[in-house]
Amino acid sequence: MYHDNDRAKMFNRRAAMLAGGKTALAGALVARMYYLQVVEADKYAMAAHDNRISMRLLAPPRGLILDRNGTAMAVNQHNYQVRVIAERAPSLDYTLDALSQIITLTDHDRGRIHKEAKRRRSFVPITIRENLSWEEVARIEVNAPDLPGVLIEVGQSRFYPLESLGAHILGYVAAVSETDLTGDPLEDLPGFRIGKAGVERIYDMAMRGRAGASSVEVNAVGRVINELERKEGEPGVDLTLTLDMRLQEYAAQRLGEESASVVVMDVHSGDLLVMASTPSYDPNAFNRGLTHEEWKDLSTNLRSPLQNKAISGTFAPGSTFKLVVALAALEAGVITPDQTVLCKGHMELGSIKFHCWKKGGHGSVDLNGAIKGSCDVYFYEIARRVGIDKIAEIANRFGLGVPTGIDLPNERPGLVPSRAWKRHAMKQPWHPGETLINGIGQGYCLTTPLQLAVMVARIANGGHKVVPHVARDLIVEKAALPRSVPDWGSCGVSQKNLALIRKGMFAVSNEPGGTAFRARIEQDGMWLSGKTGTAQVRRITMRERESGVKKNEELPWKERDHALFVAYAPEEKPRYAIAVVVEHGGGGSAVAAPIARDIMIEVQKRERTRTADREKSPGGAG
């Protein structure tokens, strides 16, 4: 009996303790629920709302690129994409098999789609192919009942309607890589593309625009249920270039299949009307994605279609360099225009002979005659007198061997050597014979076609340091920002000496015996003044000189001379400068000069037409 009472008391105590614990636990639970549902109600209601509502960025339309006359060079077009939602398809392979009967799907496409399907949720659309033609879209839509899970989406992609024309200036857009990240939220958008080359790259931020936003309602696993609000992005700024695409097209056609480049610029404003580099490429291929074969063809082509030769191709300037050598000698006072040098076909310095291009020589020539006939011996002698350092100084002032400052990427600076340069770069002293070789634009000298055009522009405009550019205006809401023409500053040379150089250039193109006389412009008011150049790419041995040097056409392409010609026009009131370089093209007078002549005729004809149209328009001069 005693033991039964003890057991009852113990049971009652334990029951009371258990009941107390349950009561305490229940009280704590009620208190916690009250805290969460009443005290913190607003906080968790906001969190639940944020979890339900998702904000998504919308890519804005990219700014357009136009030429100076409003011709579209880069636009946005509809990009038809076919996508699949895996959860709506009976099986991914079944859908892809059915779709492959309608459009082309490669094994690479299939592999990529399966990889994306494994790492994405089943309700997230997967892009099967982009840039579908309208015919492909139509076939898919007609067969839609037999393609469960397949849908067509319409986005935007960059399109270059002129294809290869102007490609090196435009550049192209491509997907964002890790090295391109700037913190712009747009860069995180799937499929977003940025400028990778040319003006697309230089003015990329302005042309991107600002992102729009879409407010959507999603469920707990992230599936979109409803779009609540949508605000489209702000389009990027349109860009107008200085180029005239009709002239660009004419220049490209004139260069033909040559590996060549031509630059035409306004000598006063620095506007580039033409910058052609051949062969070219289609930037649309980069936007849609190059195949392995396409990339191999472009990257291994000996004529370098991907390179903008106008700013990245460096060539020995040959005899075109004689203009700054003559100017340096005049500025240094080591020659006068009337002083003569006897050319017997070669010049001796120690035991070495330096040959003139004209076998037998030019006889006694003064400054004007030396420029006109491009006498090498004359320029050997005046280069020896003035020295390489003074030549380099004047050449740099006129844009050679230094970056021009153009608003395009990947410009190469070229090289005009000096004593200090050789000591620093090669750890060797300068030799007198090197002055002679570089005095005719050979040796270490390297320039770009754009630099040669800048040199001529500064000679033609009276020694003003004009800087070339391809961007004319940034257009905001169809209103051009006001243009400012800077004070270019002076090259710091005598106007009298510049006039002497221009006189020699006039003789080259317009007087019998001038090296470009056969390529002259005969129309009044269009005369041009120029300078030919032929740059050797290999050393000619004494044995070859004695036995007879092979003609260019008899040599392998890579061993042929470069053909160059520089000029300005019209002679009386210089307005345009031109530089033509034909890689391994042969003689400057026979190859480059006729190309430059034809282009400059076209340039001046178009200017006359524009002037006549302005005069006829309301408010014109008549």
341-388 pLDDT, tens digit per residue, is: 999 999 999 989 999 999 899 999 999 999 999 999 999 999 999 999
* 307 assigned to some structural domain: no
Pair 29, 168 in one domain: no
- pLDDT for res 191: 66
Q: How far apart are CA 369 and CA 513, in angstroms?
A: 9
Q: Is 50 exceeded by the pLDDT of residue 622?
A: no
Identify the CA nearest to 99 among candidates 131, 135, 129, 133: 129
Q: Is 90 exceeded by the pLDDT of residue 440?
A: yes
- pLDDT for res 297: 87
55-59, 183-187, 532-536, 596-600: range with lowest mean pLDDT:
55-59
* 320 assigned to some structural domain: yes
Tokens of 207: 């042309």
Q: Is the dihedral of CA 591, 597, 603, 605 positive or negative?
A: negative
CATH number at residue 140: 3.90.1310.10
Q: How far apart are CA 505 and CA 207, in angstroms?
A: 43
83-92, 221-230, 367-376: range with lowest mean pLDDT:
221-230
CA angle 466, 472, 474 (to 5 degrees): 140
Pair 444, 478 in one domain: yes
Please, which pLDDT band fits residue 109 given cuts at 50, 70 and 90? confident
Q: How far apart are CA 22 and CA 94, in angstroms?
A: 58
* 580 assigned to some structural domain: yes
Average pLDDT over every residue of 23-42:
70
Q: Would you name the residues annotated as active-site residues?
A: 319
- pLDDT for res 230: 75
10-19, 99-108, 418-427: range with lowest mean pLDDT:
10-19
Please spell the DSSP secondary structure of 415-464, one letter per residue.
B---HHHHHHHHS----HHHHHHHTTT-TT-BB-HHHHHHHHHHHHTTSB
Please, which pLDDT band fits residue 536 given cuts at 50, 70 and 90? confident
- pLDDT for res 18: 78
- pLDDT for res 217: 66
Please, which pLDDT band fits residue 483 given cuts at 50, 70 and 90? low
10 Å Cβ neighbour count for 195?
24
- pLDDT for res 55: 62
Per the CB < 8 A criterion, the answer to whether 372 and 504 are in contact is: yes
Pair 218, 268 in one domain: no
- pLDDT for res 54: 62
Residue with tokens 């319409």: 154
CATH number at residue 506: 3.40.710.10
Pair 75, 32 in one domain: no
Q: How far apart are CA 229 and CA 232, in angstroms?
A: 10
Pair 123, 237 in one domain: yes
Domain tally for the chain? 3
Pair 79, 212 in one domain: yes
* 165 assigned to some structural domain: yes
- pLDDT for res 417: 97
- β-partners of residue 82 are 129, 152
* 323 assigned to some structural domain: yes
Per the CB < 8 A criterion, the answer to whether 62 and 239 are in contact is: no
**615: amino acid identity, one letter:** E
pLDDT digits (tens, 9 = 90+) for 557-605: 788 899 999 999 999 999 999 999 999 998 899 999 999 999 999 999 9
- pLDDT for res 607: 87
Pair 546, 568 in one domain: yes
Please, which pLDDT band fits residue 476 given cuts at 50, 70 and 90? low
Please, which pLDDT band fits residue 473 given cuts at 50, 70 and 90? confident
Please, which pLDDT band fits residue 497 given cuts at 50, 70 and 90? very high
Pair 400, 511 in one domain: yes
* 584 assigned to some structural domain: yes
* 51 assigned to some structural domain: no
Per the CB < 8 A criterion, the answer to whether 530 and 509 are in contact is: yes
Secondary structure of 217-286 in HEC code, one letter for each residue: EECCCCCEEEEEEEECCECCCEEEECCCHHHHHHHHHHHCCCCEEEEEEECCCCEEEEEEEECCCCCHHH
- pLDDT for res 155: 75
11-25, 120-134, 478-492: range with lowest mean pLDDT:
478-492
pLDDT digits (tens, 9 = 90+) for 541-561: 555 555 555 666 678 878 889
Q: How far apart are CA 320 and CA 133, in angstroms?
A: 50
Range(s) of the domain holding residue 124: 56-241
Phi, psi of 387 (to 5 degrees): 90, 150
Q: How far apart are CA 278 and CA 310, in angstroms?
A: 10
- pLDDT for res 392: 98
51-60, 168-177, 244-253: range with lowest mean pLDDT:
51-60
* 227 assigned to some structural domain: yes
Pairing of strands 126-129, 65-66: unpaired
Average pLDDT over every residue of 416-431:
96
How far are the Cα atoms of 57, 58, 404, 415, 604 from residue 190, in angstroms, in the given order? 10, 10, 38, 44, 48
Pair 249, 237 in one domain: no
pLDDT digits (tens, 9 = 90+) for 149-169: 888 877 788 999 999 999 999
Cα 218 to chain centroid distance, Å, stands at 43
Q: Is 90 exceeded by the pLDDT of residue 339?
A: yes
Pair 225, 255 in one domain: no
Identify the CA nearest to 320 among candidates 566, 582, 513: 566
Output 1 or 126, whichever has higher pLDDT.
Answer: 126
Average pLDDT over every residue of 3-25:
73
Q: Is 70 exceeded by the pLDDT of residue 455?
A: yes
Task: List own/partner pairs for 268-271 with CB under 8 A and 24 or more apart.
Answer: 268/461, 268/464, 268/466, 268/575, 269/466, 269/485, 270/457, 270/466, 270/467, 270/468, 270/469, 270/488, 271/68, 271/242, 271/469, 271/472
Pair 124, 175 in one domain: yes
Q: What is the mean pLDDT of the chain?
A: 86
Q: How far apart are CA 450 and CA 168, in angstroms?
A: 14
Pair 163, 282 in one domain: no
